[in-house]
Chains A and B, each alone.
Chain A
Amino acid sequence: MVVVGAGAGGLAAAWRLTAAGMRVVVLEGGREYRPERDYPQDQDDFQLRAFPFDPVEDERGKPRFAFGPAQAIGPAWDDYRSRNAAQGRFVDGDRRQYQVYSHVRGVGGSTLHFQGEAHRFHPDSLRMHTLFGAGADWPLAWEELDRYYAIAERRIGVAAPDNPLRPGGGPHLLPPHPLSYASRQLAHGFTSVGATLRANALAILPRPFDRRPACNYCNSCTQGCPIGDKGSADVTFLPAARATGRLDLRTGAQAVEVGVGRDGRCTGVVYREPGGARVRVAARWVVLAAGAVETPRLLLCSRSRAHPDGLGNGRGQVGRNLTESLTWTSVALLPARVDSFRGVPIDGSAWEFAVPHRGDGWVGGFRLATAHGAAELRGPSAYAQRLVPGFGAAHARRVRETFGHAVAVLAVGEWLPNPDTAVDLDRWRGDAAGMPLARIRSALGENERRLLRTMADTTREVLRAAGAGEVVEQTSALDLFAAAHVLGTCRVGSDPEASVADAEGFCHGVANLAFADGSALPSSGCGDSPFLTITAMAIRTADRLIERARRG
């Protein structure tokens, strides 16, 4: 069998399949990173080093993704646009800007630069349509998902607190990380808005586990974890899959087409090697796990007599229902130094507003978090460039006075599907292999705008009540598309007219094609990170595949 994509879902599925005795070829378009070389975090100029993403351009200098129309913002939303004290607005003009699709192409995928958040979705997040008439219901019971959460947590090593707002868990969970000193200074602010700041649920090790070391709190998760305590897929699922001896991981292997026989079933995958040669891998089963942008692109590019509009796209559902994480971050300065550059990037979280409900003109919900590392406040460079305005002697003095005082509060909210947010193919631009580029179209619906306003106001109130000064930086999904958590473009569902895959994660009408990435998730989870849910769903689909394969 072939798995396309070596990210969280692809490697989780590959681990489960190989552990069950299957031989699996994993095709990964990117490379295998080497932490000690690619992101050691020990250089004197560490502040200038971001995660070494593959360039956003391909080897010809052409972009890897295309973007659709930019949404108009409107003057009524000026107070909710991205800006900081030193540089002003991030986006000139009155249209939302596609900044980046924050996607890592390589072994481990986006878990290489994620911040370790390992959340369980609330049970009601699986029933948004039933409860609120919004989005789509999941075609499975939360209790089944709960079993797979536990399997994933045991494999990864997840540190999490008892959390009455997120049922499940158990003795397999590792003890939570203590809150940082900086985050504890904000606890009162959270209380003032009716929330409780708890330790976050994290795939970051508080003690050695499975031959991996404990975290030393360097706060560099987004730049890449150099010591292996963060539970990225390359240090959790990959070694276990390799240990079976049944994994064949091919890097630099860009899948260009899923082959289809006369009977409409998949026959394998064609991939392109870096030199341009095309290689065909025959397979009885194909699992797509290239992410919610590349997976629909591959389907739409795989046209055949049996599937003239793209594989699995007989009802035009492939690429629709894209959802993102709606994000807002407020940064302010506390009166005293707290050195928030220490710890883990998002160490505290509050789920009181992250239980699906009706709010002020919106449905869904949002999670609050302390996110000093996520706001990239790792050293004085960020203060000098972004938080302290001006130049010269007064600027230098103010940087000296304020360094170590900044704290960040993040809000992440539900994004409901809408017709203007989707992935399709760019008609005019292609990649080096001749495949049309994936085109990302993104626009906030009225629900997202109103929810974003509530999120922004709440983070500001948390900071104000905690005694912080005025907000010196705010980053908003209103005017910036910078999504990392993209979901839903091949969602599972009971109704083939409104979904791409069935309840077990297999393509409607193509029985030997399955999905094991964020594209399969029908909703975005009320502000929770989707990482754990993607891995849990991938393992579940792998189990169903094993059953089907054994039945013949």
Chain B
Amino acid sequence: MRADKPEKAAVEGGAPPPTASRRDMFRIAVGAAAVAAGLAVLRRVLLPGSLDADGRTTLEALLDTLLAGEGVPDWRSTGVMPRLADELAARRQGRRALVEGVAWLDARAREAHGRTFRALPPAARAAVVASAERSAPGSLPHYFYRVVRDRAVELHYAHPSVWRPLGLPHAPQPEGYPDFAEAPPG
């Protein structure tokens, strides 16, 4: 205790701190960079961001590709986008799949066609999506395709403007299907 007092007094008295050597500065810089990189990785893993405007346009282009078809109502009228986006945004894994999956679409589009996914014509977009469909189970593009495609078609075909024209007459209740023992009409 007694030996501490002079040191403390010296600091409080305004003596200049020891000057850092170049080696010390280098160590500090390297350490700070490592911490920053670690935090960035952690942030990416724990707090994946949401889509920006370009990313959202890319996702819309993907839905245009997945849910195209003659006579099929536009997915913009069947409530697919808000529900899909909300569901994915609600889970960390979903946010990550969305952000990284959209980035993968653009990277793949640039690699194959030299343009972003949203800038491609329909046939080229379909080729990029097909490559995601064919990718190895467990890979990012495969997971992204499965998550978005499976839920998008499920939501889209659950809308009455889509299922009624296919010959499903009504929801199960209140009428039920008392004609169940007969051949379908038509």
Contacts and interface: CB of A to CB of B under 8 A. Distances in A.
Interface of A: 40-48, 86-89, 92, 178-181, 184, 215-220, 226-227, 337-339, 341-343, 378-381, 383-385, 390-393, 395-397, 399-400, 403-404
A341 B167 CA distance: 11
B172 A219 contact: yes
Contact of B181 (A179, A341, A396): A179
B24 interface: no
26 contacts: A41-B171, A41-B172, A42-B173, A47-B158, A48-B155, A89-B137, A180-B180, A184-B181, A217-B178, A217-B180, A218-B172, A218-B177, A227-B173, A337-B184, A339-B184, A378-B172, A379-B157, A380-B162, A381-B163, A391-B65, A391-B67, A391-B129, A396-B69, A397-B70, A400-B166, A403-B168
B160 to A, nearest CB: 4
A130 to B, nearest CB: 43
Nearest to B161: A44
Given A42-B173, A47-B158, A391-B133, A379 B178 contact: no
A527 B117 CA distance: 52
A215 B180 CA distance: 12
B68 A396 contact: yes
Contacts of B66: 391-392
Given A47-B157, A337-B184, A396-B72, 8 more contacts: A181-B184, A216-B173, A385-B154, A392-B68, A395-B153, A396-B69, A400-B71, A400-B166
B153 A391 contact: yes
A181 B160 CA distance: 25
Interface string B123-152: 000100100010001100000001001100
Contacts of B3: none
A224 to B, nearest CB: 11
B126 A404 contact: no
Given A92-B137, A217-B178, A42 B171 contact: yes
A223 to B, nearest CB: 8
Contacts of A403: 166-168
B128 to A, nearest CB: 12
Interface string B102-135: 0000000000000000000000001001000100
A109 to B, nearest CB: 23
Most chain B beta-carbon neighbours within 10 Å: one of A87, A391, A397: A391
Contact of B157 (A215, A226, A391, A399): A399
B177 to A, nearest CB: 3
Interface of B: 65-72, 126, 129, 133, 137-138, 146, 149-150, 153-160, 162-163, 166-168, 171-184
Contact of B168 (A41, A86, A380): A380
A270 to B, nearest CB: 37
Contacts of A383: 157
Contact of A379 (B65, B68, B69, B158): B158
A219 B66 CA distance: 30
B173 A395 contact: no
Contacts of B166: 380, 399-400, 403-404
Contact of A392 (B65, B154, B156, B184): B65
Given A40-B173, A390-B133, A404 B184 contact: yes
Contact of A88 (B137, B154, B181): B137
A264 B167 CA distance: 64
A342 B177 contact: yes
- Looking at chain A's contact residues, the main secondary structure is loop
B168 A379 contact: yes
Closest 5 pairs between A and B when the two form their complex, measured CB to CB? A216-B176, A396-B69, A342-B177, A218-B172, A342-B180
Nearest to B183: A181
A215 B175 CA distance: 10
A224 B66 CA distance: 32
Contacts of A92: 137-138
Contact of A226 (B173, B175, B180): B173
A122 to B, nearest CB: 29
A48 B173 contact: no
Contact of B177 (A178, A217, A393, A396): A217
A87 B138 contact: no
A46 B172 contact: yes
A39 to B, nearest CB: 9
B68 to A, nearest CB: 5
B70 A393 contact: yes
A219 B179 CA distance: 12
Nearest to B83: A48
A43 B175 contact: no
Given A181-B181, A404-B184, A381 B157 contact: yes
B180 A404 contact: no
A86 B153 CA distance: 11
A228 B146 CA distance: 38
A478 to B, nearest CB: 18
A337 B133 CA distance: 29
B68 A393 contact: yes
A451 to B, nearest CB: 29
A159 to B, nearest CB: 14
A44 B176 CA distance: 14
Contacts of A181: 180-184
Contacts of A215: 176
Most chain A beta-carbon neighbours within 10 Å: one of B69, B133, B159: B69
B167 A404 contact: yes
A390 B133 CA distance: 8
Contacts of B146: 87
Contacts of B176: 215-218
A179 B71 CA distance: 35
Given A44-B159, A87-B150, A178 B173 contact: no
B164 to A, nearest CB: 9
A151 B47 CA distance: 59
A33 B182 CA distance: 34
Contacts of B180: 180-181, 217, 342-343
A338 B159 CA distance: 22
B49 to A, nearest CB: 24
Given A88-B137, A181-B182, A384 B171 contact: no
B69 A393 contact: yes
Contacts of B68: 392-393, 396
A393 B130 CA distance: 13
Contacts of B182: 181
Given A220-B172, A397-B69, A404-B167, A178 B181 contact: yes
A45 B158 contact: yes
Contacts of B174: 42, 216
B150 A385 contact: yes
